[in-house]
Structure 1
Amino acid sequence: MNPKRVVIVGGSGFIGSAIANRLCEAGVRVLIPTRRRSRAGHVLLLPNTEVVEADVHDPATLARLFADADAVINTVGVLHSRPGSPFGPDFARAHVELPQKIVAACRSAAVPHLVHISALGAYDAGPSEYQRSKAAGETAIRAGAPELVSTILRPSVVFGRGDSFLNLFAGLARIFPVLPLAGADARFQPVYVEDVAEAAWQSLVRPDAANQIFELAGPTVYTLRQLVEYVSALVGKPRPVIALPEHLAMLQARLMELAPQPLMSRDNVRSMKVDNVASGTPQPFGLTPTALEAVAPGWLGTGSPRAFYYPFRRHARR
């Protein structure tokens, strides 16, 4: 399949904008619905891209947006929610109800292919509400078969310029002399955002991607402690890391939940009880994963504005 028009739900977000850039590079026309067009300036400049204000939770709006689309990519995800069972209402809305609406709209508009960004660790009996809601979202996507062909991508924690992972720890290292850390021994296999974008593109054009689930991860497994120590050293602020026992980690997370934009939640701590590591090959389609150390210094190692253009130089092989 060679798609000519693709709708990216969540296309103005961190992962979505990287996918939009990759599709534009391939000459695809991209439509990005967003709640506020004024906050999507970084994708407005992409060629072949249309950004429209729309409520993607409205089924009629989705059906209208998907008309004549060759494919839809869903990148919507949230990290925090009010609590609930088996998961909270915010997780339910973003991770379950929205995929259900997207599948219905795809079938109504006869969209042939849906690519869904899930998460490594999605499991219906997982220890966290996040993991359980992601698993329920995958079930909603697969329910579109056989009329709708789908591909589900499960990335580990995603890093890149503008991420909310490495940049979070870099910011904390610049402020605090010591870093108390929940889940210090939790294992992650971080994947570069451009690798996720490439996998999404390959999922659209390769016949062997139809109705498959692929894990996305980087080449190296790290503990959270190793990642925090690496990032703090990279920004020139090496900090001692103090591993918190579970009861103190939960207390720290509970206090952080009181912030208007929480950096951590108790549900995040529960997620870290399960290693976020690929079960097999870290990248599908024979793709070679990018090492964190090869690119992170491009935006964390310097404060230079030139670091912003690192992904574009990499694509141009300069």
Structure 2
Amino acid sequence: MELATADIRDEASIDTALAGASAVVNAVSLYVETRDASFEAIHVTGAGRLASRARAAGIDRLVLVSGIGIRHDSASAYVRARSRGEDAVLEAMPKAIIVRPSVLFGPGDAFLSGLEGLARLPLIPLFGHGTTRLQPVHVMDVARAIATLTGRPATARRLFELGGPEVLSYREILEMLLTHLHRERPLVPIPFLAWRLVAALATWLPGPPLTRDQVILMQTDNVADKDIGGFRDLRILPRSLHESLPSCLTPHNA
């Protein structure tokens, strides 16, 4: 096995990376648009280009890592681009497999590390009342699922939604984190309108800490559809956020 790097916007570098490959996993993602990279260029055109070049190279196994809640009519430009990207991949390679994980977590991740940063504040602001439901999934469990899908005989299922064993509200996740860190902090509800205003102001900052798309995503539950393929179909038992916290975060005193 060799590490190959490529620019998903450049066909020649993609072809070089694909040389000798038997399967392809597209886990490229862009959360904040820049002058050099747009959602359309990465999630739609780039994803379709990679699938097309993989097919031209004779590769018949491609897994696209997308996300739960992807739909064409979303208010989020990011989500709409991901949805069009799924279509572009399937148009280029109809037998491609789409994997939609819920919120990913793991050691040194952006999700738990960000929440740990919030836990240092004297009070913690909630998105709305913190009732949005999430199904956090360990990144290693998603990696195991992808390895299974690229290594086993072709599966009849082409769409998988992967969530951990716990469905938790945003408030419950914060409370669990605070308990693990041995901290007590008040959780303060903040209306989504206020968050949208904060995100609008943050767009002028380099590497904004909050975007309009993130606020939109936090207004909708992020839970796997039980009628779509999941870990059970791959015979994988995912680990819970609760049992994984000790290996992802080190407890601190308040």
Same fold, TM exceeding 0.5? Answer: yes
Partner of 2:237: 288
Partner of 2:183: 237
Distance of 2:182 and 2:109 partners within structure 1: 19
Contact 2:99–2:162 (CA<8 Å) still a contact in 1? yes
In the alignment, is residue 32 of structure 1 matched against residue 4 of structure 2? yes
In the alignment, is residue 169 of structure 1 matched against residue 118 of structure 2? no
Percent identity of the aligned residues?
Answer: 35
Contact 1:150–1:211 (CA<8 Å) still a contact in 2? no
Pairing 1:221-232 to 2, within 5 Å after superposition: 221-232=167-178
In the alignment, is residue 298 of structure 1 matched against residue 233 of structure 2? no
Contact 2:55–2:93 (CA<8 Å) still a contact in 1? no
Distance of 1:243 and 1:69 partners within structure 2: 49
Partner of 1:4: none
In the alignment, is residue 193 of structure 1 matched against residue 139 of structure 2? yes
Shift of 1:288: 1.1
Contact 2:62–2:97 (CA<8 Å) still a contact in 1? yes
Question: Secondary structure in 2 aligned to 1:161?
Answer: coil
Pairing 1:1-318 to 2, within 5 Å after superposition: 29-33=1-5, 54-81=6-33, 90-146=38-94, 149-174=95-120, 176-183=121-128, 184-209=130-155, 212-280=158-226, 282-283=230-231, 284-302=233-251
Distance of 1:109 and 1:63 partners within structure 2: 8
Contact 1:118–1:134 (CA<8 Å) still a contact in 2? yes
Amino acid at match of 1:77: S
Amino acid at match of 1:263: P
Distance of 1:203 and 1:282 partners within structure 2: 12
Question: Secondary structure in 2 aligned to 1:209?
Answer: coil
Larger RCO, structure (CA 8 Å, separation 6 or more): 2
Contact 1:189–1:277 (CA<8 Å) still a contact in 2? yes
The 1:235/1:32 distance shift into structure 2, 3 A limit, reads farther
Contact 2:125–2:188 (CA<8 Å) still a contact in 1? yes
Amino acid at match of 1:177: P
Distance of 1:239 and 1:254 partners within structure 2: 27
Question: Secondary structure in 1 aligned to 2:8?
Answer: coil
Deviations 1:242-263 (A, max 9, x none): 1111211212222333332222
Distance of 1:70 and 1:64 partners within structure 2: 14
Shift of 1:300: 1.1
Question: Secondary structure in 1 aligned to 2:110?
Answer: coil
Q: Which runs of no fewer than 5 residues in structure 2 stay unpaired?
A: none
Shift of 1:211: 6.1
Amino acid at match of 1:71: A
Aligned-pair Cα RMSD in Å: 2.1
Amino acid at match of 1:220: E
Deviations 1:145-170 (A, max 9, x none): 35xx4111000010001211111010
Distance of 2:160 and 2:224 partners within structure 1: 10
Distance of 2:201 and 2:178 partners within structure 1: 23
Question: Secondary structure in 2 aligned to 1:287?
Answer: coil
Shift of 1:203: 0.5
Distance of 1:208 and 1:144 partners within structure 2: 18
Deviations 1:35-68 (A, max 9, x none): xxxxxxxxxxxxxxxxxxx433210111122122
The 1:30/1:124 distance shift into structure 2, 3 A limit, reads farther
Shift of 1:299: 2.8
Shift of 1:102: 0.2
Question: Secondary structure in 2 aligned to 1:273?
Answer: coil
Deviations 1:4-54 (A, max 9, x none): xxxxxxxxxxxxxxxxxxxxxxxxx14331xxxxxxxxxxxxxxxxxxxx4
Shift of 1:78: 1.9
Q: Which runs of no fewer than 5 residues in structure 1 stay unpaired?
A: 1-28, 34-53, 83-88, 304-318
